[in-house]
Amino acid sequence: MNTNMSTATLTSRLGGLLMAPVNLLMRVLDIPLRAVQKAAGIGGMAAVFLAPNMLIFGIFVLLPLVINFVYSMTGGTAFFLSEREFVGAAQYERLFQCANYLDPMSCQEDAFWTAVGNTFWFVVLQVSLMILTALITALILNRDLAARSFWRAVFFFPVLLSPVVVGLIWKWILQRQGLLNFGLYQFGVEPYTWLTDRNWTFVATIGVSLWAHMGFYALILLAGLQAIPKDLYEAAEMDGTKPARVFWRITLPLLMPNLLVVVVLALIRAVQIFDEVYVLTGGGPGTSTLYLTQYIYETGFASALRNPGLAAAASILMGLVLVVLTLVQLGIGQRGEKKGKR
Amino acid sequence: MGEIKLSDVNKSFGSVHVLKDIDLHIKDGEFVVFVGPSGCGKSTLLRTIAGLEKITGGVIEIDGKRVNEVSAADRGLAMVFQSYALYPHMSVRQNLAFGLENSNMPKNEVAERIAEAARMLEIEPYLERRPGQLSGGQRQRVAIGRAIVRRPTAFLLDEPLSNLDAELRVSTRAELAALHARLGSTMIYVTHDQVEAMTLAHRIVVMRAGKIEQVGTPLDLYNTPANRFVAGFIGAPHMNFLAGEVAELQTGTATLTTSGGHRLLVPFSGHSLSVGDKLTIGIRPQHITLANDPGSLKVKVRLVEALGSETVIHADLNGEKLLAVVPGQKQLSPGDEAYFSVAGAPLHLFDRNGLRVKGS
């Protein structure tokens, strides 16, 4: 009894001690906040509390967006806006000046169109493979496996790595004196320059990004699979439904909301691919793995002939694509909510 | 045909033994209800018959054929799930057709069967709707319809009314009974509601802790429960139990004394009792009457529930609870003293192990 009482007293004292600075701060803040409330009114206090966050959002998101748009209307290599001349839509015109859009070399800004083409194929292949592998992984992880939690963790761990680390790991594996060649050499296979072969680097960027992000999408799909009531499968079993028909007629339609979210998220992420590829291949060899974000980065900051205006224009165009994809995602989300309510 | 025979059926989940030595013979066309408290194994028993759970011992036969190794689909049974298990992305028509399409049935026959079931269950107006657009009762009908279209050997129904409100449950219960009469198929029905069991079943299987306690017609179970558990489970409100002792034995009767010293005369023709034996005396609340006779059981009224047509009296008899359901409306209040008479009431005697005393 005594021990209990003393524990309770100790807890309350400790709590009091910990709360002391908070209480002090509240008292100090109380005086100016009362004054603010008097001026703004109770209704206006919501805006006062939101203001710091909105300020940060404004400075770091909205303002750069506007500045970026203004940059896209200016020309020259100068970095400060005040030293740049207004050129109107010239940067956009330059980006779109092409004899044949399917042939980047016929365009004035051939690197941009090469990057667009590379990004397009990267997105198409990476997203398709991503959906396929994430779905297969989720279906396997949803089964009654031994050490299921372990396998789920194994597939999810790469998601926790920073993209630069992912790029470095795979560089160590794929480079000429890397782990892969070492392994192959043990079996008598001649070492190969995986990261300097145009075709292999493209495949490598897709493979590495699959490895790094697949766990995240598999997890979303796994959650969707687990939300499908077991009864439905038992009803199908009683009806003598074959496994393939169960998959196509029951699992897939019921997983569709999750699958759509995964498709859109994977699309948005694939369009923005940059860091791991930049570390792994640097966009090379040549321009074989030059994707849009890297083109923007190099045009704006890294290349000798830097052109911040052109980079800004390209980033605005990429932003528009992302806006469309995000709207699609929002639309899917709202449709899902409506269905859920019904 | 729809004859189902279970012999010495056992089922374990790991180290947990959930079905113990189940022997049961269900005749063709019979409506059998598995009843028991939550966790007694009744749903598991149904699922083993369905083929959704593999048994760990014993034999299951359907129409004389051993089906232990036969898949759920090939047993020729149809199941109605507690949650209905309707495919939410398919229309009612597609839900009904799904199972039939698996067997590559000609389209016109599928349509014919759906039309017939829809007519029988009055779900024709909803055929193009999805389950999400139906009420609980309508969904329930669709779930039954999905079973009917398959024309199964037997229907397995796992608590099919538990998701319906009280009023709908009563009307659907009557419809189910009518449906059984019309189809004439074997039906096995799982419920924890003994009123459902009493009203629907030809025979009731009372289960507890993975074992069958008693199998019999509803009135068999009500009139001659095999043990104290069945006596307490069947009948609402539950049977009263009083501690008693055999005071005297004469030819054809036994005189018992309750813990309060009251003497009760019970018809008894067996040889299993001796003077001094400790017993439990079971009295159904409906068999107790109010009396003015000071020789009856003197009780203290604790609570009175006036239901209009009858009055439920919760009373205290020397520390033992006693419940009486008497017809009509009675002017009694908590704290009143009253006399309960059990003269002429069928009394149930259970021995120390809770088993019915033979000859009582």
Assess whether pLDDT exceeds 60 at residue A1: no
Looking at the fold, whether A325 and A228 belong to one and the same domain comes out as yes
Looking at the fold, whether A138 and A235 belong to one and the same domain comes out as yes
Distance CA B250, CA B275 (A): 10
Distance CA B49, CA B38 (A): 19
Looking at the fold, whether A6 and A150 belong to one and the same domain comes out as no
Per-residue confidence band for A245, with pLDDT thresholds at 50, 70 and 90: very high
Determine, for residues A241 and B98 on separate chains, whether the beta-carbon distance falls below 8 Å. Answer: yes
Looking at the fold, whether A147 and A25 belong to one and the same domain comes out as no
Domain B4-233 classification at class level = alpha beta
Per-residue confidence band for A224, with pLDDT thresholds at 50, 70 and 90: very high
Q: Average pLDDT over chain A, rounded to whole?
A: 88
B208: closest CA among B220, B224, B225, B196? Answer: B225
Q: Who among A231, A239, A342 is closest to B73 (CB)? A: A239
Does residue A199 lie within any of the structural domains? Answer: yes
The Cβ of residue B37 has, within 10 Å, a number of other Cβ atoms equal to 13
Assess whether pLDDT exceeds 50 at residue B213: yes
Q: Which residue has the higher pLDDT, B133 or A325?
A: B133
How many Cα atoms sit within 13 Å of B346 on the Cβ side?
11
Distance CA A5, CA A34 (A): 40
Bridge partner list, B7: B59
Residues of B in contact with A235 (CB under 8 A): 79, 81, 85, 87, 146
Task: Read off φ and ψ for residue B199, nearest 5 degrees.
Answer: -80, -25
Does residue A92 lie within any of the structural domains? Answer: no
B264: closest CA among B282, B251, B285? Answer: B282
Looking at the fold, whether A19 and A150 belong to one and the same domain comes out as no
Supply the pLDDT for residue A338.
66
Distance CA B70, CA B61 (A): 10
Question: What's the pLDDT tens digit per position in B98-124?
Answer: 999 988 899 999 999 999 999 888 899
Per-residue confidence band for B86, with pLDDT thresholds at 50, 70 and 90: very high
Mean pLDDT value of segment B336-358: 89
List C-alpha distances in Å: B244 to B40, B259, B293: 30, 6, 21
Per-residue confidence band for A2, with pLDDT thresholds at 50, 70 and 90: low
Assess whether pLDDT exceeds 50 at residue A342: no
Q: Which residue has the higher pLDDT, B96 or A284?
A: B96
Spatial CB neighbours of A67, under 8 Å, sequence gap ≥ 6: A81
Assess whether pLDDT exceeds 70 at residue A340: no
Distance CA B131, CA B59 (A): 37
Question: Do strands B278-283 and A74-75 pair parallel, antiparallel, or not at all (unpaired)?
Answer: unpaired
List C-alpha distances in Å: B174 to A256, A331, B85, B350: 40, 46, 22, 35
Does residue A151 lie within any of the structural domains? Answer: yes
Q: Who among A238, A254, A342 is closest to B72 (CB)? A: A238
Q: Does B315 touch chain A (CB under 8 A)?
A: no
Determine, for residues A238 and B103 on separate chains, whether the beta-carbon distance falls below 8 Å. Answer: no
Assess whether pLDDT exceeds 50 at residue B339: yes
Euclidean distance between the first and the last CA atom of chain A, given in angstroms as a whole number = 55
**pTM to 2 decimals?**
0.79
Paired tokens of A5: 């009482």
Does residue A114 lie within any of the structural domains? Answer: yes
Residues of B in contact with A242 (CB under 8 A): 102
Q: Does A240 touch chain B (CB under 8 A)?
A: yes
Is A188:A194 a contact under the CB 8 Å cutoff? no
The Cβ of residue B329 has, within 10 Å, a number of other Cβ atoms equal to 12
The Cβ of residue A209 has, within 10 Å, a number of other Cβ atoms equal to 25
Sheet bearing B320-327, strands edge to edge: B289-291, B337-341, B297-306, B310-317, B320-327
Supply the pLDDT for residue A177.
83
Closest-CA residue in chain B for A230?
Answer: B85
The percentage of residues in chain B with a pLDDT greater than 90, rounded to a whole number, is 67
The string of DSSP letters for B190-245 reads EES-HHHHHHH-SEEEEEETTEEEEEE-HHHHHHS-SBHHHHHHSSSSPPEEEEEE
Task: Using the CB atoms, write b or e for B294-305: b if 16+ within 10 Å.
Answer: eebbbbebeebe
Q: Does A254 touch chain B (CB under 8 A)?
A: yes
Does residue A94 lie within any of the structural domains? Answer: no
Mean pLDDT value of segment A317-334: 86
What is the predicted ipTM? 0.85
Mean pLDDT value of segment A169-186: 87
Question: What's the pLDDT tens digit per position in B229-245?
Answer: 999 999 889 999 999 99
Is B214:B221 a contact under the CB 8 Å cutoff? yes
Distance CA B250, CA B269 (A): 9
Is B186:B106 a contact under the CB 8 Å cutoff? no
Looking at the fold, whether A334 and A188 belong to one and the same domain comes out as yes
Task: Using the CB atoms, write b or e for B189-215: b if 16+ within 10 Å.
Answer: bbbbbbebbbebbebbbbbbebebbbb
Is B19:B70 a contact under the CB 8 Å cutoff? no
Q: Which of A3-17, A70-84, B42-56, B314-328 has the lowest mean pLDDT?
A: A3-17
Assess whether pLDDT exceeds 90 at residue B81: yes
Distance CA B13, CA B116 (A): 41
Is A239:B76 a contact under the CB 8 Å cutoff? no
Supply the pLDDT for residue A4.
57
Task: Read off φ and ψ for residue A227, nearest 5 degrees.
Answer: -80, -10
Residue A301 DSSP label: I
Looking at the fold, whether A22 and A137 belong to one and the same domain comes out as no
Residue A210: give the domain boundaries: 109-341
Looking at the fold, whether A133 and A229 belong to one and the same domain comes out as yes
The string of DSSP letters for A135-165 reads HHHHHHHTS--TTHHHHHHHHHGGGGS-HHH
> What CATH number does residue A328 fall under?
1.10.3720.10
Paired tokens of B72: 């759920």
Supply the pLDDT for residue A85.
87
Q: Who among A231, A239, A249 is closest to B83 (CB)? A: A231
In chain B, residues under CATH classification 2.40.50.140 are 240-350
List C-alpha distances in Å: A23 to A9, A20, A29, B342: 20, 5, 10, 72
Supply the pLDDT for residue A102.
79
Assess whether pLDDT exceeds 70 at residue A237: yes
> Any idea what the Cα angle at residue B118 is, between residues B112 and B122, rounded to 5°?
150
- Peptide bond just before B88 cis, omega within 30 deg: no
Distance CA A113, CA A104 (A): 5
Paired tokens of B45: 């028993």
Does residue A96 lie within any of the structural domains? Answer: no
Supply the pLDDT for residue A3.
53
Assess whether pLDDT exceeds 50 at residue B267: yes
Is A136:A220 a contact under the CB 8 Å cutoff? no
The string of DSSP letters for B26-93 reads E-TT-EEEEE-STTSSHHHHHHHHHTSS--SEEEEEETTEE-TTS-GGGGTEEEE-TT----TTS-HH
Per-residue confidence band for A5, with pLDDT thresholds at 50, 70 and 90: low
Residues of A in contact with B89 (CB under 8 A): 253-254
Assess whether pLDDT exceeds 80 at residue B97: yes
Question: What's the pLDDT tens digit per position in A109-126?
Answer: 888 999 999 999 999 999
Looking at the fold, whether A235 and A337 belong to one and the same domain comes out as yes
Spatial CB neighbours of A165, under 8 Å, sequence gap ≥ 6: none
Query: Residues 72 to 111 of B: which have CB under 8 A from any A CB?
Result: 72-74, 77-79, 81-83, 85, 87-89, 98-99, 102-103
Q: Does A235 touch chain B (CB under 8 A)?
A: yes
In chain B, residues under CATH classification 3.40.50.300 are 4-233
Is A297:A121 a contact under the CB 8 Å cutoff? no
Looking at the fold, whether A154 and A291 belong to one and the same domain comes out as yes
Residue A178 DSSP label: S
Measure in Å the smallest separation between the Cα of B92 and chain A Cα atoms: 15
Mean pLDDT value of segment B171-178: 88
Assess whether pLDDT exceeds 80 at residue B293: no
Sign (positive/negative) of CA torsion B4, B9, B12, B16?
positive
Question: Do strands B77-80 and B65-66 pair parallel, antiparallel, or not at all (unpaired)?
Answer: unpaired
Mean pLDDT value of segment B162-189: 88
Mean pLDDT value of segment A296-312: 86
A300: closest CA among A111, A132, A52, A116? Answer: A111
Does residue A302 lie within any of the structural domains? Answer: yes
Looking at the fold, whether A39 and A123 belong to one and the same domain comes out as no
CATH 1.20.59.10 fits B240-350, yes or no: no
Does residue A72 lie within any of the structural domains? Answer: no
> Any idea what the Cα angle at residue B125 is, between residues B121 and B131, rounded to 5°?
80
Distance CA B60, CA B24 (A): 10
CA dihedral A321, A323, A329, A334 (to 10 degrees): -150
Supply the pLDDT for residue A104.
80
* CB-based contacts of A122-129 (< 8 A; 24+ apart in sequence): A122/A202, A122/A205, A122/A206, A122/A270, A122/A273, A122/A291, A123/A267, A123/A270, A123/A271, A125/A206, A126/A206, A126/A209, A126/A210, A126/A266, A126/A270, A126/A273, A127/A263, A127/A266, A127/A267, A127/A270, A129/A206, A129/A210
Question: What's the pLDDT tens digit per position in B122-155?
Answer: 899 999 999 999 998 899 999 999 999 999 999 9
Looking at the fold, whether A27 and A175 belong to one and the same domain comes out as no
Measure in Å the smallest separation between the Cα of A240 and chain B Cα atoms: 4
Tally of structural domains, chain A = 2
